[in-house]
Amino acid sequence: MPQVTSDGRTLINFILNGKPASGQAEPRMLLSDFLRQVAGLTEVHVGCEHGICGACTLRIDGEPARSCLTFAVQIEGRRVDTVQSLLGPRGELNDLQAAFRKHHSLQCGYCTTGILMSATAFLEKNPNPGEEEIRDMLSGHICRCTGYVGMVRAIKEVVASRSAKSKVPA
């Protein structure tokens, strides 16, 4: 049963990037606002608040989701992963993030955290996509700075290196 405070807010318990987290939100509070304003996350960016731009994308129980189209109360008991979940134990960038840097896949970087979440989930499901599939996945996001070239290259490179690694027996 969700706990409701006297001012109408609900206590939400969830798993944030692998660790238990909680916070209070009114029923109408958007998940994007909740994570930014209550949970203090800086990586959730808001670009349109109507589900088109993809900047606010994160993963809920592994599935990419628009946090601007999700209410905070909907994540009760669920797992939420942001771009922090990609970092290594000492905060190192993972291979996808590093490839984004190498191929200048970001300029302002406002769209990037959302794109990394979609791309991560996509590559888990589809480890060997062709360029067309990669572009199709990226089309769920708007980037106003880069023309998408660097992102496509970075993802292709990660696909190649991950599949090379998976072929070499450890």
| Residues engaged in binding ligand FES (CB under 6 A) | 46-49, 51-56, 66, 68, 106-112, 143-146
129 binds, among ligand FES, another protein, none (CB under 5 to 8 A by kind): none
Does residue 28 touch another protein according to CB under 8 A?
A: yes
How many CB atoms sit inside 10 A of residue 50's CB? 9
Residue 23's binding partner, choosing from ligand FES, another protein, none, with beta-carbon cut-off 5 to 8 A by kind? none
Secondary structure in 3-state letters for 144-165: CCCCCHHHHHHHHHHHHHHHHH
Give, as ranges, the residues between 34 and 73 that touch another protein (CB under 8 A).
36, 41-50, 52-53, 55
Amino acid letter for position 137: M
Asked if 136 is part of the footprint of another protein (rule: CB under 8 A), the reply reads: yes
80 binds another protein per the rule CB under 8 A: no
- Cα–Cα–Cα angle for 139, 144, 150, nearest 5°? 70
- Beta strands 79-81; 10-16: pairing state: parallel
